[in-house]
Amino acid sequence: MSTTTPDPTAAKRTPFMRVVTASLIGTTIEWYDFFLYGSAAALVFNHVFFPESDPLVGTMLAFTTYAVGFVARPLGGLVFGHFGDRIGRKQLLVLSLLLMGGATFAIGLLPTYAAIGVAAPLLLTLLRVVQGFALGGEWGGAVLLVAEHGRPEHRGFWASWPQAGAPGGNLLATAVLAVLAVTLPDEAFLDWGWRIPFLLSGVLVLIGLWVRLAVTESRVFQEARARAEESGEQERAPIIGVLRHHWREALVAMGVRMAENVSYYVVTAFILVYATQQADMDKGLVLNSVLIASAVHLVTIPLWGALSDRLGRRPVTALGAAGVAVWAFAFFPLIDTGAFWAVTLAATVGLVLHGAMYGPQAAFFSELFSTRMRYSGASVGYQLASIVAGGVAPLIATALLAAFGTSLPISVYVAVMGALTLVAVWASRETRGRSLD
């Protein structure tokens, strides 16, 4: 068999940077859509879609619809992973962006509970399912495009840039909501102002599509597909190959995500509930704290990815897991002070420690699976953890607060997740420098 390998001197630099840019912009937009829902669930949806409930109960109902999106993510990872491993990463990434943007734009047009009654939260939940399905397919394709295009010695650094799309999207969503919260009276914000960030998604999706359509498939994937087609050994159902050959790696990926996922949504979503309802802080101040923390998070994620290129994926991930487990016990007392600087410090340190797990993750998971089932394996392992970790984290945290009236059980919850991630890291093998061919 003969394959054509691109001339590295002619094709390496500009195309690779275009791949990194396209992945970063695309993931930022998709995470903007996804996180916007979480912030709105904490601040708006309990009033607009669940107005007859007690404030904490209404918030729990809003976070329940929030969690539904996470339940749909593994299904999205399974479907997108299947076709992504068979026909390519690019087409599936374009589809995921269209689905996510369309659902988010539609949320901005939804009638409220006051207008159509119970149909309003039902439609909201349906659109949240579409969001989760789309995001379930987004992550694997975005990070694999970069990981498969790049060199192994710098894979941790470059593959971490699509990861930076998460805080980038959160930063963008929080910034838009913060501006609206400051410039609009509460009545106007609850009446129509909350719709603006959702409708803005339509413009962002057009930008993302323009960038993403210019990306080509990786040489690694194209050659693996050509070999499989020539030998007749192409995996008809890549997920079956994952369960047969990579079940251990899928479990490791799930375990590694536990502390990372839980800590992130406690810091970025539940903080809005706790600080406004328990510490009686102004929502604009809390949003500004998360805004600053997300900006620092965005910068530090690639630094942690680069450190994993030097030290390995396992030690950097373990450092982050241990860090968030300890910091959870300082996080809430700092918020209880009600001081802006203390809340900002709590969120910033929490997200910096989270970045130690999140930065190396793209390279780590890409290196766990073989090319013909990499999209499926990385996506399913990543997204299954989202159901039992991130999806229910704000809901569990709110329920613990309602049941005990104190933040200590929530800190213990985060610490237990940190211990689970440390066990998964201990059970895994170091993958730094592994060839993706």
Q: At 136, list the tokens.
A: 């379930």
Percent helix, percent strand, percent coil in the chain, to nearest 5: 85, 0, 15
Q: What per-residue string of b and e applies to 51-73 under the rule 16 or more CB within 10 Å gives b?
A: eeeeebebbbbbbbbbbbbbbbb
Q: At 421, list the tokens.
A: 């991630």
Q: At 230, list the tokens.
A: 């020539």
Q: Alpha-carbon Rg of the chain, whole angstroms? A: 21
**Measured in whole angstroms, how far is the alpha carbon of residue 348 from the centre of its chain?**
17
Residue ranges of alpha helices (H) inside 266-373 are 271-277, 283-311, 313-336, 340-358, 361-366
For 361-406, give the DSSP string. Answer: HHHHHHTTS-GGGHHHHHHHHHHHHHHHTTTTHHHHHHHHHHHHSS
Alpha-carbon distance of 77 to 254, in angstroms, equals 13
Amino acid occupying residue 32 = Y
Angle at 99 between CA 33 and CA 69, to 5 degrees: 60
The dihedral over CA atoms of 379, 381, 382, 388, expressed in degrees to the nearest 10, equals: 130
Question: Tens of pLDDT along the chain (437 residues)?
Answer: 444 444 433 344 446 777 888 888 888 887 888 778 877 877 788 778 877 666 666 677 777 776 777 778 788 888 887 777 777 777 787 888 888 889 989 999 999 888 888 888 888 888 988 988 888 877 777 888 788 777 888 899 998 998 888 888 888 887 888 788 788 887 888 888 889 999 988 888 888 888 777 777 767 777 767 776 666 665 566 667 777 777 788 888 889 999 999 999 899 888 988 998 888 898 888 988 988 998 999 999 999 999 999 999 999 999 999 999 999 999 999 999 999 999 999 999 999 999 999 999 989 988 888 777 777 777 777 777 877 887 788 889 989 998 998 999 999 999 999 999 999 999 998 988 777 76
Distances (CA, A) of 271 to 170, 268, 277, 346: 13, 6, 10, 10
Amino acid occupying residue 334 = L
Query: If you count them, how many residues does the chain have?
Result: 437
Q: Which residues lie below 8 Å from residue 274, measured CB to CB, with a gap of 6+?
A: 332, 335, 397, 401, 407
Alpha-carbon distance of 86 to 242, in angstroms, equals 14
Q: At 50, list the tokens.
A: 């669940």
